[in-house]
Amino acid sequence: MNVQEEIIQLRRELEYHNKLYYVLDAPVISDYDYDMLMQRLKTLEAEHPELITPDSPTQRVGGQALSQFEPVRHQVPLESLTDVFSHEELFAFGERMDNLIQDAHDYVVEPKIDGLSMSLEYENGVFVRGATRGDGVTGENVTENLRTVRSLPLRIENAPERLIVRGEVYMSKAVFRQLNAEREIRGETLLANPRNAAAGSMRQLDPKVAASRKLDIICFNMQYTSGEPYRTHAETLDAMKEMGFPVVPYTRFDTIRDCVDKIEWLGENRGELPYDMDGAVIKINSLAQREALGSTAKAPRWAVAYKYPPEKKESRVLDIVVQVGRTGVLTPKVIVEPIRLAGTTVSAATLHNQDNIDRLDLRIGDTVLLQKAGEIIPEVLSVNKDKRPEGTAPFVLPSVCPECGSPVVRDPDGAALRCTSPECPAQRLRNIAHFASREAMDIEGLGISVCESLINSGLVKTAADLYYLEAASIAALDRMGEKSAANLIAAIDKSREAGLARLLCAFGIRQVGQKAAKLLASHYEDLDSLMAADTEELKLIPDIGAVTAGFITEWFSLPQSKHQIERLREAGVSFASREEKKDARFAGLTFVLTGALSKYTRDEASAIIESYGGKASGSVSKKTSYVLAGENAGSKLTKAEALGVRIISEDEFTEMIR
């Protein structure tokens, strides 16, 4: 077998296992074996790049970032459905169908997945283009992002010459929870719900972002086929499943009464499904009858979407507990008598913060009304004060951290209370993962999963413990081994010389990110001289300000901070500044970068601008001093021209920094 034949064979084998895993839910090989097949294909394609094709399974990781999405006019309009909200409206739909269709007719009922609707185009079995629904007539070309969705087949067997399928991109509940947990560790804003997370991921200009979100797709309609025509909608769904598409589960019924019963069953059991669903759909099964019924100006006459009302139930408050999140935020949580709500048993709900408790006037012993926000997260809607027992008292969050006893402070820009200790056990994972992250000490190979293993094994309790690790102890951990352990020890040793700016960023001091850390490192020769500075001195530094200066001095005054610094000193971590002292030629100037730069990455150009006292902004305004434009510059360039902002090339920028 030559190389080309082996590559073709590997692609077919991988797509076969993708179908078994994503469509039929019946994998026959382990994840490890699948990964080995994929690694072999990647190796062969790297050695023979001329044999790489767009439909190769290796191309799901995301290609080059786009400057904008191109408009796509749909060959077949992507219509929306008429919403109904009661059983009476469902029966009225059935009666209407009985009156309009003289022949016998049947129905198909499907769950309505809450995601982002897509048109998927195939030519000779190869996926060639995918577009959002848009206004139903024109959408946006998101082909590169769709290639990253592993459940979407990039090539199908026994396909017609041309095929258009409609599907729904979604984020599973499990992936959504994992993604939010990781965002919490990194101190990022949590995503509101899976639907918004999927929509935001699919509209990222950089496909690598979409690839990292682990999106799925489920198909529910055959829009067009150049092959043999089908008689019913059910036949098209079965055919799509046979081709390798993940297809919406459906049930066929002869009467509208059976359809309504099925919709009720779906509503009661939707909590067990892996995806969010915001309703159920009833469709006429016969394609010929659909064509005869046609559509109104807004929606087809042959289908309706039943939208489930949010389920609300009362329960009694047993207790209010306070948890410390991975970012140090104290979060009150109400414990209630268990109830069945939206398909799952609920025994607790978040109260967010003290302001929300005060707004509800919530007390232990109260009867509260609960619902699930976005069908996932239980929340308290209101308190039934008519059922309040005597002798209750208002609840107040503690003034010290319940995990470590350190003082807590209220965010000046919000309602959250936050533990101030850098060594708080509740924040351990987040603090260590941040310390090792790329923007901080940049310890390669020390991701969240490895941090968890080190913490769970008892090897690491604080970030400073990383510098006292031994290779043998790391090698004994699951999925590590001697080589991985040696590599990690080498990366940790290398980080000892990362310098003051990275160390300050790694400390996780509030409002001291990469930019502020570099600014401080350019003003102070080492950590000790910075620690000796008081608030008045610090706030004189441009872009530091009184609030940030207060956070810095407060952090350095904590006993836990002093303990961590001394352990780092003993471990030989450098406290010296590595920042090159440059002039302030860009002081007071704001730059905006747009398009593809050839001489610098955007991060490199931004760092250069900031090192000379300038500011790199993401949006163009009248206050913008320069727009640095690369190839294929988009709307920012247009806006700069309209505002009369000076536009410079990379060559001009290079001259400015000489």
Which residue in 19, 42, 112, 581 is the catalytic one? 112
Taking CA atoms, 85 is separated from 91, 234, 301, 308, 309, in Å, by 11, 25, 17, 7, 8
* pLDDT tens sequence across 582-605: 677 888 889 999 887 877 777 778
How high is the pLDDT of residue 195?
84
Q: Which amino acid is at 199?
A: A
| 72-307 and 313-387 agree in CATH topology | no
How high is the pLDDT of residue 376?
66
Give the residue-averaged pLDDT of 267-279: 85
In the structure, what pLDDT confidence band is assigned to residue 60 with cuts at 50, 70 and 90? low
How high is the pLDDT of residue 65?
45
CA–CA separation, 255 and 91 (whole Å) = 10
Phi, psi of 84 (to 5 degrees): -130, 155
Give the residue-averaged pLDDT of 367-382: 82
Between these two residues, 236 and 345, which has the higher pLDDT value?
A: 236
How high is the mean pLDDT of the chain? 87
> What DSSP line would sit under 622-658, residue for residue?
TT--EEEE-BT--HHHHHHHHHT-EEE-HHHHHHHT-
Taking CA atoms, 291 is separated from 232, 248, 288, 301, 450, in Å, by 11, 22, 5, 10, 57
How high is the pLDDT of residue 412?
67
If one counts every other C-beta atom within 10 angstroms of the C-beta of residue 381, the result is 14
Residue 19 annotated to the active site: no
* pLDDT tens sequence across 172-195: 988 988 888 777 776 677 777 788
Q: Determine which of 99-108, 269-278, 493-502 has the lowest per-residue pLDDT on average.
A: 269-278
Give the residue-averaged pLDDT of 461-490: 90
If one counts every other C-beta atom within 10 angstroms of the C-beta of residue 572, the result is 10
Give the whole-number percent of the chain exceeding pLDDT 70: 95
If one counts every other C-beta atom within 10 angstroms of the C-beta of residue 86, the result is 11
Domains of the chain, by residue range, sit at 3-52, 72-307, 313-387, 425-495, 500-570, 590-656
Per CATH, which fold does 590-656 belong to? Rossmann fold (3.40.50)
* Second-level CATH architecture of 500-570: Orthogonal Bundle (1.10)
- Find out if CATH 3.10.20.30 is the number for domain 425-495: no
CB within 8 A of 186, min separation 6: which ones? 430, 433, 434, 437
Give the residue-averaged pLDDT of 307-314: 84
In the structure, what pLDDT confidence band is assigned to residue 375 with cuts at 50, 70 and 90? low
Give the residue-averaged pLDDT of 155-182: 90
Give the residue-averaged pLDDT of 19-36: 69
Give the whole-number percent of the chain exceeding pLDDT 90: 43
Q: Determine which of 21-25, 34-38, 114-118 has the lowest per-residue pLDDT on average.
A: 21-25
Selected from 3.30.470.30, 2.30.40.10, 2.60.120.590, 3.40.630.10, the CATH number assigned to the domain covering 72-307 reads 3.30.470.30
Q: Is the pLDDT of residue 632 over 80?
A: no
Give the residue-averaged pLDDT of 146-154: 90
CATH number for the domain whose boundaries are 313-387 = 2.40.50.140
How high is the pLDDT of residue 128?
93
What totals of helices (H) and strands (E) does the chain contain, helices first? 24, 22
The tokens describing 8, both together, are 């073709």
Q: Determine which of 181-195, 214-228, 305-319, 492-506 has the lowest per-residue pLDDT on average.
A: 181-195
Most confident of 27-31, 38-42, 260-264: 260-264
Give the residue-averaged pLDDT of 133-158: 89
Between these two residues, 314 and 30, which has the higher pLDDT value?
A: 314
Q: Is the pLDDT of residue 448 over 50?
A: yes
Phi, psi of 598 (to 5 degrees): -100, -30
- Tell me if residue 123 falls in helix, strand or coil: strand
CA–CA separation, 274 and 641 (whole Å) = 48
Q: Is the pLDDT of residue 443 over 70?
A: yes
Give the residue-averaged pLDDT of 158-178: 92
Between these two residues, 405 and 542, which has the higher pLDDT value?
A: 405
Q: Is the pLDDT of residue 297 over 60?
A: yes
Selected from 1.10.287.610, 3.40.50.2300, 3.60.20.10, 3.40.50.2000, the CATH number assigned to the domain covering 3-52 reads 1.10.287.610
* pLDDT tens sequence across 201-227: 888 877 777 888 889 999 999 999 998
